[in-house]
Structure 1
Amino acid sequence: MTSALLAFAAGLLIATVTTPVGVSGAVFLLPVQLSVLHVPSPAVTPTNLLFNVVAGPGALLRYLSTGDLAGSLTRLLLIGTLPGVVLGAVIRVFAVPGPRVFRLIVAAVLLPLGVWLCVRAARPAAGSKPVKPLPDRLLVILGVGAGTIGGIYGIGGGSLLGPILAGRGLPIAQVAPAVLTSTFLTSIVGAAGYGVLALVTTGDIAPDWFLGLLCGAGGLVGGYLGAHLQPRLPERALRFLLGGLAAALAALYAVQATTG
């Protein structure tokens, strides 16, 4: 019962904080699953993807009335992230099975994410400076890279794409719906990929359905609340919060990987 309450509460709180900036929260939930809920590796990755699948509709339901969930940005990201997450799942199962290597990958993903968020938050607003759109091909390439890392890490890739796109000057109101839609659909494909791999390989590859669904249920509520709160929250403060948390988690996992 304690684990169930922790799983629900963690999903709820994390999603409420991260959804306003277009991040599902899975990037911060994974350490909770590893260290607190004791989900084994590599089963923690598909469990985290399961969280995205269950939690995603909460934010998307709210953003349906405020953002374009099927625009060109969303389509271009999906062209890259969907095949990328399948590749990431294969790499995670066959090439990165050890917890030490996995922690190093976690640190390598979180540290630049955290620094990027903090740097962008520290810079003054761009004002009326025009935003030069990224080429379609580059958006697809970014999608492939983020999807692959997301398949390894269990985040669906959205936690990487959001800061990159927002860093280019795109407004959060445009980035968040596209990235969260990409994260949701990519996580469905990624979770299904791990399910297939679980049938043909040995080890803890299948998701922990109980904890994944409970975390997702909390995230479903938290995602809706976070999307509802977005217009009322200071974006700069949220970016500093996410960046600081990401950097701190990166440092923790780097220490664990080198000393454990």
Structure 2
Amino acid sequence: MSGWELALAVVLGTLAAAIGTPTGVSGGLLLLPLLLTVFGLGGTVASATNLLFNIVSTPIGIARQRRVDAQLTLLLVGSAAPAAVVGALVNVFLLGDSAAFRALVAALLGVVGVSILVPRPRSSGTAPLTGRGRSVMLVVGAASGLLGGFYGLGGAVLAAPATLLLTGWPVVRISGAALVATFVVSVTGLATYAGLSLAGHTAVQTPHWPLGLALGAGGVIGGYWASRYATRVPDRLLRTVLAAMVGLGALRLVLS
């Protein structure tokens, strides 16, 4: 890659993380269409490169969180991590990708994104999860991991908005747990794809390392900056940004 392409990647990674980190989505959703168009990567390598961006950039966002809900994090991660492996394996060995499946997932994301913006009663920011709520979060985590492993979306594209929709909690409470889920799903998904590549499955491609690392370096800068202003941004604005990012994720699935 040329020097200007790497410089552009740092700038784009910075902007993506600055926008996405406060909502718990990491910004990878914004980068996937750019990886496919601006940088001309194929679908599989673009997804793997996006996972690499998440791995490099999300730790700073997690470390700068004032609070990470331990119970929610354990529920999401506990079910998302194994589901990410399953999602990657299903993609490679069973279903592959299809226009019908992408449309179905895009429709689901679209409904969730719109639902975030619908006014509804808010629960207390300190209210604990009930037994039923814990079971629901396990399902949300598993679904997030499956999508993360299958499409390379990192997982939080569903974890953050679904948790927000089902609990009514403010964005600042769920963003830390969603970022941790994104990191774990990204590590698990990328390791699975890399392992399959080493095992000789030629359909599986490893990420574009220079590009992914340059994006990640920018993501560290953007994530650090975002953590300084996130608590001062109104919850309604964060919800609007999150809904827009979920909509972009749905659009990416339809157009890919």
Instruction: Judge which range, 2-11 or 241-250, deviates more.
Output: 241-250
Cα deviation code 1:152-194 (max 9, x no counterpart):
1212211211111122212322211111112112211111111
Total equivalences in the alignment: 250
Structure 1 unaligned spans of 5+? none
Cα distance, 1:198 vs structure 2: 0.9
Q: Percent identity?
A: 35
Task: Give me the whole-angstrom Cα distance separating, in 1, the residues matched to 2:186 and 2:125.
Answer: 35
The yes-or-no answer on 1:31 pairing with 2:27 is no
Q: TM-score, normalised by structure 1?
A: 0.84
Look up the match of 1:198. 197
Cα shift at 1:77: 1.1
User: 1:13: Cα distance to partner?
Assistant: 0.5
Partner Cα separation in structure 2 for residue 80 and residue 226 of structure 1: 28
Q: TM-score, normalised by structure 2?
A: 0.85
Partner of 1:230: 230
Out of 125, 129, 135, which is 1:133 matched to?
A: 129
* Worse-superposed segment, 187-196 or 164-173: 164-173
Contact preservation (8 Å) 2:116, 2:164: no
Query: Could you say which residue in structure 2 is the equivalent of 1:13?
Result: 15
| Per-residue deviation, 1:214 | 1.0
Q: Secondary structure at the match of 1:42?
A: helix
Aligned 1:166-181 pairs, distance under 5 A? 166-167=164-165, 168-181=167-180
Compute the displacement of 1:253 (Å).
5.3
Q: Secondary structure at the match of 1:43?
A: helix
Aligned counterpart, 2:82: 83
Who is 1:219 aligned against?
Answer: 219
Return the offset for 1:133: 2.7
Residues 131 and 169 of structure 1 are in contact (CA less than 8 Å); yes or no, is this contact kept in structure 2? no
Structure 1 residue 106: deviation in Å? 6.8
Structure 2: unaligned runs, 5 residues or longer: none
Measured after TM superposition, the shift of residue 11 of structure 1 is: 1.3
Q: Is the 8 A contact 1:77 1:139 kept in 2?
A: yes
Change in Cα spacing, 1:215 to 1:202, as seen in structure 2 (3 Å) is: same
Q: Distance in 1 between matches of 2:233 and 2:164?
A: 16
Distance apart, 1:248 and its partner CA: 5.3
Distance 1:116 1:85 in 2: 25
Task: Name 2:160's counterpart in structure 1.
Answer: 162
| Distance in 2 separating the partners of 1:110 and 1:28 | 15
Deviation for aligned residue 1:9: 1.5
Query: In 2, are the aligned partners of 1:74 and 1:181 still within 8 Å (CA)?
Result: yes
Quote the offset at 1:111 in angstroms: 2.4
Matching residue of 1:184: 183
The correspondence of residues 44-63 of structure 1 with structure 2, limited to 5 A, is 44-63=46-65
Q: Post-superposition shift, 1:151?
A: 1.0
Q: What SS does structure 2 have at the residue aligned with 1:37?
A: coil
Alpha-carbon distance between aligned partners in 2 of 1:210 and 1:184, rounded to the nearest angstrom: 19
- SS of the counterpart of 2:113? helix
Q: In 2, are the aligned partners of 1:49 and 1:154 still within 8 Å (CA)?
A: yes
- The AA in structure 2 aligned to 1:214 is A
1:73 matched residue in structure 2: 72
Residues 185 and 250 of structure 1: CA distance in aligned 2, closer, same or farther (over 3 Å)? closer
Structure 2 CA distance for aligned equivalents of residues 252 and 228 of structure 1: 30
* Offset at residue 132 of structure 1 (A): 7.2
* 2:43 match: secondary structure: coil
Match of 1:239 in 2: 239
Contact 1:85–1:150 (8 Å) recurs in 2 = yes
Compared with structure 1, are the counterparts of its residues 26 and 34 closer, same or farther at alpha carbon in structure 2 (3 Å cutoff)?
Answer: same
